[in-house]
Chains A and B, each alone.
Chain A
Amino acid sequence: MRVTIPSPLRSYTQGRAEVIGSGATFAELLDRLDADFPGIRFRMIDEQDRIRRHIRLFVNREQVVDLAHSLRDDDEVQILCALSGG
């Protein structure tokens, strides 16, 4: 599936704004992204598996708040950064 990467995380993806990911759930997708781009998961998800304050996850333009959310190969995933102030 196509995964949009926000600019603050592109240092992990060698500058790529979009990568190809896989997984049956959002949690699996994030684990595999972290295997491909080490460190990227912890900057989005804390050690208690909570989505960090300024990170927003979308599947087919619908926001996801549960990492157990199921995914299909043709889903379009967007990882976005919310406003965080100066």
Chain B
Amino acid sequence: MKRRSGRDKSKARRTRAGRKVAPASRRTIEQKRVVLLVGTRKGAFIYHGDPTRSRWRLDGPHRLGEIVNHVVLDPRDGVTMLMAARAGHLGPTIFRSVDMGRTWKEAAEPPAFRKAAATENGRSVDYTFWLSVGHRDDHDVWYAGTSPPALFRSHDAGVTWQGIDSYNDHLMYLKWNPPGGGTPDGAVLSSVIVDPRDARHMYMVTSDGGAFETLDNCETWTSINKGVEANFLPDPYPEYGQDVHCLCIHPANPDRLYQQNHCGIYRIDRPSDNWIRIGNNMPKEIGDIGFGIVVHPRDPETAWVFPMDGTAVWPRTSPGGRPAVYRTTDAGATWLRQDRGLPREHAWFTVKRQAFCADDFDPVGLYFGTTSGEVWMSPNEGRSWNLVAVHLPHIYSVVAATIH
């Protein structure tokens, strides 16, 4: 009998970019679970959670020895995974997997600047720091942020990458990204975020320029830093020059953004262009310095931060050696310490900006990875914490991907 549809839904299929997509029937039968994608200084590790998020099976290391800044699974297809990597001796690249990490294939054209004229000192990508997917309707579109700060886009699920000239060659580029600045590993571009309502509307941040917005699919860029402190510059409230560590847009209310900055925690409610320092409401003895910030997947009032010591010479460790997450449920008006299960003392680690994340379960699961190689998780929105992994290398990123 002739089928009415051209596709047999019981069989796996492949997209144009070669990704294998599970058959619809199997996707609906299987239970939802979390996969943790952990990028470290010595490779990537994948932890497969059971549906209760209480048991985790390690798969790895992947690309052992490569410096892995970010590993991201495409939530739009559930199979395409990209890894931003660079070995100690070798240049940067992007590895791709479409079989949950069983095999990795290198991007045919990783992010790279255009070849400069012989008379110019052309830029080269030192490493890719950030990866994120495009709008849900822009299948196969991905974004990458690099060091030195530059924005790249892929239209084929990470196989080839093109620079976004409107930013990378902007007349203001050297003002926004003064040479010699940035993190100890160099200046970076990160938190590339697409408005879920409008693929042409995006935000991104850099470590020397602050936050930027485009309304026209990366054709033009505007800095959006009003009210954000930059206490390391002569003018502490400049138009640009801030060091944004992490920016989040709220998926349920995309007019609300939170940022963890080098100089505090902020919130903005668009169309306002003025950031409010909600970190002023943190306990004074803890302060509001940190790398990452995580928003609740459904409640725009709720967010979590992981404070670090930003006093004196900036140890960037847990304040007092006593790590804790702080949660707000009123958009930053008040903060609650959440440290049950975490070490009580002498835990001098740091949680980097890509190493703190949430899943979309109810209750929400929270996850963070430490510079001392531990992965912690909370199955109850931060009320208690337990260990998922120990003895990993220095952790750069933790991404919680939901598998259906």
Contacts and interface: CB of A to CB of B under 8 A. Distances in A.
A42 B108 contact: no
A52 B113 contact: no
A45 to B, nearest CB: 8
Interface residues of A, number: 21
A7 B254 CA distance: 47
Given A38-B106, A39-B106, A42-B112, A48 B122 contact: yes
B124 A46 contact: yes
Contacts of A49: 115
A38 B88 contact: no
Q: Provide the main secondary structure of the chain B interface.
A: loop
A30 to B, nearest CB: 13
B89 A6 contact: yes
A64 interface: no
Contacts of A85: 88
Interface in B138-187: none
Interface in B99-144: 106-108, 110, 112-116, 122-125
A28 B93 CA distance: 22
Given A38-B106, A38-B108, A42-B112, A47 B125 contact: yes
Contact of B116 (A8, A48, A52, A54): A48
A39 B122 CA distance: 21
Output the residue of A6, A43, A52, A54 with the most chain B CB within 10 A. A43
Q: Provide the main secondary structure of the chain A interface.
A: loop
A55 B89 contact: yes
Interface string A1-23: 00000101100000000000000
B122 A8 contact: no
A8 B66 CA distance: 10
B91 A46 contact: yes
A54 B90 CA distance: 7
B87 interface: yes
Contacts of B93: 39, 42-43
B90 A43 contact: yes
Nearest to B125: A47
Output the residue of A47, A50, A84 with the most chain B CB within 10 A. A47
Given A38-B106, A38-B108, A50-B124, A44 B90 contact: yes
Contacts of A38: 106, 108
A7 to B, nearest CB: 9
B91 A44 contact: yes
Interface of B: 65, 87-91, 93, 106-108, 110, 112-116, 122-125
9 contacts: A8-B87, A8-B88, A39-B93, A42-B110, A44-B91, A47-B114, A47-B125, A48-B124, A82-B89
Interface of A: 6, 8-9, 38-39, 42-50, 52, 54-55, 81-82, 84-85
